[in-house]
Structure 1
Amino acid sequence: MKYFSKKLLSILLVLAVGSSCSQLPTQQQEIETVSVTDYVNPFIGTLNKGNTYPGAVLPWGMASPNPQTKDFRLRAGTPATYEHGDPFIYGFSSINLSGVGCPGGGSIPIKLSTGELDLSSDSFKSSYNSEVAEPGYYKVILNQHKLKAEMTATKRSARYNFSFNPEVKKSNMYIDLASQMSHMKGGEINVEEDGTITGYQLDGEFCDCEGIAKIYFALEVIGEPKEIKVFKDQKEINSKKASGKDVGVALLFDNKPSTLDVKVGISFVSVANAKLNLSQEQRDLSFEDIKLAAKAEWEKQLSKVEIAEGDITDKTVFYTALYHSIIMPHVISDINGEYPLMEKEGVGKAEGYTRYSAYSLWDTYRSVHPLNALLYPKEQRDMTVTMLEMYKESGWLPKWELYGNESWVMVGDPAVPVIVDTYMKGITDFDTDVALEAMLKGATTKENNPLRPGIKNYIELGYCPIDDRGGDPKDFTFHNGIVWGPVSTTLEYNFADYTISKFAEALGKDDVAKQMYEQSMSFKKLYDAETQFFRPKTKAGEWMEPFNPLDRHFDIRWKGSGGKGYCEGTAWQYRFFVPHAMNELKELMGEEAYFTNLEALFEEGHFDLSNEPDITFPYLFNYLDKKHHYTQKYTKAESEKYFKNAPIGIPGNDDAGTMSAWLVMTQLGIFPDAPGIPTYQLTTPKFNHVQLHLDEYVYGGKVIALEKNGQGDYFDNVTNGNGETLKGFSIEHKDLINSGKLVFNTQLSAIVE
């Protein structure tokens, strides 16, 4: 590719917040040889609780070397391993999670210091400057240690380059298994005969998850240390091996050489596999070779979307969102196909697919997986096969899986719409019989069903009652059978059941389709015609009193996590959450009230883009006659309000790319408001001319042009490549794929009542 033979031209631009920099092109350079990767600013989302990180990672990569600006030693971390503007860097870790809400990862921590070895956190922390973050690469200067730290990655391994100032006479590197983000600390560490550091890092208790994972590693240093010391409980021991909560290995150097080249192979199966991943993926490649290969991989994936022209800042916000959208789920199978079995001891082997992990499904089913189904169908197929294999191994579809363990975090049955959406978009290369079996087990098993708490009442009453939630509300965990937010849970089950009905219908299972459809319509039992809200109801069928649609009840250990009866939201945020039944909801409310209530959601400040339940709501005006301009108005306003080329540039937790994928689809002008129903709602694209380069797999390498005709923010019609005008303001997936082109004929203004 061109950037291997010709040096890319770029300049450092100071970000809106702080001194960190990302390499962005000038207008003149944009005309020349600029890679799409130059429009990515990994610092976006590293403030405002976005919980992203600036470190190096490949698309869906297992390894993600990254700076730690928090002291995680022997204490639970925050969900953010890095926050822009923190005063110190404490070290670097090789596995991290992007945009999640609970601490996990931050594994295999490497700490640097100079002078005499001191294991206290203060001796390793350092102020820093001159940060640079690019796709697949991160660099920083640590002031106290007088060193430059650089890092890059392959899919399953990290590569570090630490360069000390020549005046530094003594330097130290400490692998500290007590300093990762997880609530679970420690592991096992071993110094092998050739100096390779091997072992495993424990990771567990993610969002109260009971499961514990072992992250195996093999760390090699190019450069002979003066001494290697093994520590347990901060005391040197006379052994090459140690295990426990607080263990580590220190490598002491006399600074000859002054550059430490460090390789870290990772596996969730074994040390042997960590070594295999390292040797196969890094071979004899130099740091620069790996950095260029990482850039090339990001260029390949980001170039699925080609923007012909546009403001540099706008393109940076867009491509960074696309970048964040394809970090998770991440690969967990090793280069030989082996992976840890789901919820059980043992090792499986992925044959014919790549195994993935870190499924934040309550979030990602809404935008990440539909985006994958369009732009990355092969990866989405493998993610779907992974979920079905998880079912075969554990007995249940995943909900919030991490490293082979199920946390049961959040509500609903979110794997179902992902699988159905995948199938409905023509990605059918998986076992549909197993898929339907897995879905029906979750949807119909009344007893001992950890996937769907409260399902017995849901099936028998049509809803989850507020006064029979199961579990123990005084000791809330996600795995004790309690229903968190009975209204939210009911509505999520309804949506999942509807998608099951469509899947069964497509497979010719009409009786199943009828049963699931009827189950999906029970939301009507929670609709209160007087208040026009979905409301909590008792087992006896009475409305919960008092009722305040703005209530932010302390219903879980996180303050403000949801009104009484709701999960992470109020009655307002769930007022329109029946994505499968907009026409039925219009009948319940009446079309005029539907519009009035929907407009009030935005005009009165109830809409919350920082969380998932209502992120589809700007698109619901398209279901009303001659109200489509409101969708165009609010998608533009919300996008510009919350997404910025700055560390605060994501509206809160990115939730494994969910918020970022929302922006990508919104700015393309095509949004999947009901995953599992293969239809996109249309809004005004951000850019005048975009091409989507579809995969050969499933889509035959077709190209779709998305164009704006005119410079306005509003449109009344869209035409396809044949010049035909679309009916309404939505398009089916198959029609989009075969359209060749969509032209949004825009005007400067519209009548917005």
Structure 2
Amino acid sequence: MQRTIILSVFLGFLVLTSCTRNEKQVNLFMGSSGDHGQVTPGATVPFGMISVCPDSDPGQHGGYDFAVPTISGISINRISGVGCSGTGGNIRIKPALPNETLSIVKGTEKAVPGYYETKLDNGVKCALTATHNMAVERYTFPWNAEKVFYIDFASSFESRNVSCSYNVTDANTIEGYVISPTACARGSYKLWFEFKTNHPFEVKNAGEENALIVFNDKVKTVEIRVTVSPIDQETARNEARLEEKSSFKKIKRSAKLQWREKLNKIEIEGGDDDLRTIYYTSLYRIYLSPMNVTSSEGHYLGTDGVVYKASDFTYYSSWSMWDAFRTKFPLLVILEDEVMSDIARSILELYRTGKKDWATPFESSPTVRTEHSQVMLLDAYKKGVENIDFTIAYNTMKEEAENLPTKTPDQRLETAYDLWALGEIADILGYTMDANDFSRRADSIFETTWKNEFMHITPQFEAMKGSGLYQGTRWQFRWAAPPYLNKMIEWVGMDTLEQQLTYFFENDLFNQGNEPDIHTPYIFNLLGSPEKSQKTIRDFLTRDMVHRYGGNAEYPEPFYGRAFRNHVEGYLPEMDEDDGTMSAWFIFGAMGFYPLLVGSDTYELTSPLFDRITIRANESTFTIRTENRKSIDQVVKTVLLNGETIEGTQITHEKIREGGELIFCY
């Protein structure tokens, strides 16, 4: 039996190592320069708590800025592409004296999934890798350099409400904790850590929040391992022991293979090198969160501060739901239905132990916000994700529904969407009276708001700054409640609404840089103009376009260029990548289908960028290919699913899940 297991593992290893290496097509520096995505090249693993990376000085929201070589040190965690001041940046290590200016030697950086390396201007070479809860940092010094490290145990991208404590337990070990704010300081998380070195050190200077440690002059390479746990010190210590016999090389290789397995779920053929790189970089970024914060013994910290046993699931934390419910989680439903089952259970437990719109005082990791979680849960359920027990959270969902925001028109549209989803959930549970009540409230809020605020277009619809709406114009929020597109058609008329949507795009009123209207190109399908959906999406994916709006306001001058580029300035100015949201938007657009109504089991069909796309996930293979296409500008004439013509412009999730072949004929 043991020989059979060993042989199976070996054969699995051969398959894994001989297959396509899509990780080589990822550009981790894309979008890492200035305010063009707010992403970083940190070393991490899929759904890992650790993303270890240099922090630029001054830095961007994720700490790192390709355009700024000066660094304050190397910290262990961050969230990709989010706003405010970011969140994370903990336990920063600087291989230099505290007042010494330190910079990356540009041209020496290398970053691939699971690994980062660079040389610093003091001659130190840095190599970084990670497990899901351990940063592994290797520093190689010049022979005549002082082997010194300045450690900031209270480092944090968001400086409010930070505290820490540490204790040197032996000549190789420091233990302690850091309490750090979540994004926009709306909550906090506490990480217990074990800081372990491969050589003994001497503490030269110990402050309340920092320490200076020195190694023997004969030491050339120092390896530091920082293991974290949100549960307690003993758990952090035990997690570190699990990897104490694993070499740097082994951990680095494990990270690479984990990424290879994820990135090989989709194979693409056709397209140019830049498009392929953007595609696989985008696929990489949807796996950066949420974070697996469950201990190896199956425990997790609830948002009520109590430690629980996760007996039959893995608990995840770190949410940017206001953004990611629209694209990233629907994409994970396709690629990772078992993981999505655990993610859904984690959100249900979040409701049970205490959920706030942003964050609580007892988070397990850096996080942002959780609005629209009920829509994400409904979407996963409708698409067949298993073990979603709404009864765990239903009473808390009902309480939340009584306090949904309604002060501004955009809030009222979003609340209508949430109440619509809750009505659907109540109906699933058989609570007919609740279902009717939530549906009635949602319908009433939407009708009153849309007719009074969005139906009759005025010149003020184009204003973003000072519009009274959150990060959008009235034009952009006009379309922000997909469950009610049929009502918009009924009240305005299909032809008129199509003309208005055409005007919206022809006059550059669409904002690719933020989420409220990113679904709008697909609305043309519902208005009888699928060719306009195809053209609009293709243009924003691949061509220079006029962009009038940034993340928070109109640009001083319109920006002309591509929204997605294989470049360090990879996204529009002020366009946050938003924790995988924009990456998933690109992936869906490139594959030729999109979840216009999150919370349903259907996708809108458009036109794929690539000649052939193969999705291998959830024990099935679904192939998308083109036929008779000589240019990506051609309009789709017919779509075939397993040889049968699809009537209309939609496909259900079940058909994708079952596997088969989708052919776009031109």
Whether the TM-score (by the shorter chain) exceeds 0.5 is yes
Alignment partner of 1:61 is 2:48: yes
Partner letter of residue 164 of structure 2?
G
Q: Do 1:359 and 1:400's aligned partners in 2 also have CA atoms closer than 8 Å?
A: no
Which position in structure 2 is the counterpart of 1:587? Answer: 490
Alignment partner of 1:265 is 2:186: no
Alignment partner of 1:628 is 2:530: yes
Alignment partner of 1:139 is 2:117: yes
Which position in structure 1 is the counterpart of 2:193? Answer: 217
1:46 Cα shift? 0.8
SS at match of 2:462: coil
Which position in structure 1 is the counterpart of 2:463? Answer: 551
Higher relative contact order (CA 8 A, sep 6+): 2
For the structure 1 residues 126 and 649, does the alpha-carbon distance in structure 2 shift closer, same or farther, using more than 3 Å as the test? closer
For the structure 1 residues 739 and 224, does the alpha-carbon distance in structure 2 shift closer, same or farther, using more than 3 Å as the test? closer
Runs of 5+ consecutive residues of structure 2 not aligned to the other structure: 1-9, 543-561
Percent of pairs with identical residues: 28
For the structure 1 residues 269 and 531, does the alpha-carbon distance in structure 2 shift closer, same or farther, using more than 3 Å as the test? closer
Alignment partner of 1:251 is 2:213: yes
Counterparts of 1:54 and 1:3, CA distance in 2 = 29
Counterparts of 1:578 and 1:605, CA distance in 2 = 21
Counterparts of 1:549 and 1:404, CA distance in 2 = 39
State which of 399, 414, 430 in structure 2 corresponds to 1:508. Answer: 430
Which position in structure 1 is the counterpart of 2:607? Answer: 684
Runs of 5+ consecutive residues of structure 1 not aligned to the other structure: 9-31, 72-76, 233-242, 454-463, 465-482, 536-546, 555-562, 696-700, 747-753
Which position in structure 2 is the counterpart of 1:609? Answer: 512
Which position in structure 2 is the counterpart of 1:42? Answer: 28
Q: Do 2:413 and 2:481's aligned partners in 1 also have CA atoms closer than 8 Å?
A: yes
Which position in structure 2 is the counterpart of 1:672? Answer: 595
SS at match of 2:479: coil
Deviations 1:682-730 (A, max 9, x none): 11111111111121xxxxx111101111224320221011x11111111
Partner letter of residue 497 of structure 1?
L
Q: Do 2:104 and 2:119's aligned partners in 1 also have CA atoms closer than 8 Å?
A: no
SS at match of 1:95: coil
Which position in structure 2 is the counterpart of 1:751? Answer: none
1:357 Cα shift? 1.3
Q: Do 1:64 and 1:153's aligned partners in 2 also have CA atoms closer than 8 Å?
A: yes
Q: Do 1:43 and 1:647's aligned partners in 2 also have CA atoms closer than 8 Å?
A: yes
Which position in structure 1 is the counterpart of 2:566? Answer: 645
1:278 Cα shift? 1.8
1:650 Cα shift? 2.8
Counterparts of 1:206 and 1:738, CA distance in 2 = 39
SS at match of 2:206: strand
| Aligned 1:479-498 pairs, distance under 5 A | 483=407, 486-498=408-420
For the structure 1 residues 529 and 357, does the alpha-carbon distance in structure 2 shift closer, same or farther, using more than 3 Å as the test? closer
Which position in structure 2 is the counterpart of 1:314? Answer: 275
Which position in structure 1 is the counterpart of 2:555? Answer: none
SS at match of 2:170: coil
Counterparts of 1:221 and 1:616, CA distance in 2 = 49
For the structure 1 residues 648 and 530, does the alpha-carbon distance in structure 2 shift closer, same or farther, using more than 3 Å as the test? closer
Which position in structure 1 is the counterpart of 2:287? Answer: 326
Counterparts of 1:185 and 1:4, CA distance in 2 = 44
Partner letter of residue 119 of structure 2?
I
Counterparts of 1:360 and 1:644, CA distance in 2 = 23
Counterparts of 2:267 and 2:175, CA distance in 1 = 43
Which position in structure 2 is the counterpart of 1:475? Answer: none
Counterparts of 1:202 and 1:379, CA distance in 2 = 28
Q: Do 2:79 and 2:366's aligned partners in 1 also have CA atoms closer than 8 Å?
A: no
State the aligned residue count.
Answer: 629
1:576 Cα shift? 1.4
Under a length normalisation based on structure 1, what TM-score does the superposition of the two structures give?
A: 0.79
Alignment partner of 1:52 is 2:27: no
Alignment partner of 1:425 is 2:404: no
Deviations 1:434-462 (A, max 9, x none): 2433332222x3xxx3xx23xxxxxxxxx
Counterparts of 1:202 and 1:406, CA distance in 2 = 10
Deviations 1:501-537 (A, max 9, x none): 22333333333322222222221212348973489xx
Alignment partner of 1:737 is 2:657: yes
Alignment partner of 1:119 is 2:40: no
State which of 251, 255, 274 in structure 2 corresponds to 1:294. Answer: 255
Counterparts of 2:288 and 2:16, CA distance in 1 = 26
Which position in structure 1 is the counterpart of 2:64? Answer: 82
State which of 571, 575, 582 in structure 1 corresponds to 2:474. Answer: 571
1:493 Cα shift? 1.1
Which position in structure 2 is the counterpart of 1:657? Answer: 580
For the structure 1 residues 408 and 525, does the alpha-carbon distance in structure 2 shift closer, same or farther, using more than 3 Å as the test? farther
Structure 1 window deviating more from structure 2 (512-521 vs 320-329): it is 512-521
Q: Do 1:622 and 1:631's aligned partners in 2 also have CA atoms closer than 8 Å?
A: yes
CA RMSD of aligned residues (A): 2.6
1:164 Cα shift? 1.4
Which position in structure 2 is the counterpart of 1:542? Answer: none
1:413 Cα shift? 4.1
Counterparts of 2:286 and 2:453, CA distance in 1 = 41
For the structure 1 residues 6 and 736, does the alpha-carbon distance in structure 2 shift closer, same or farther, using more than 3 Å as the test? closer
Q: Do 2:47 and 2:290's aligned partners in 1 also have CA atoms closer than 8 Å?
A: yes
1:293 Cα shift? 0.5
SS at match of 1:527: helix
Counterparts of 1:632 and 1:684, CA distance in 2 = 6
Which position in structure 2 is the counterpart of 1:719? Answer: 640
Q: Do 2:620 and 2:659's aligned partners in 1 also have CA atoms closer than 8 Å?
A: no
Under a length normalisation based on structure 2, what TM-score does the superposition of the two structures give?
A: 0.89
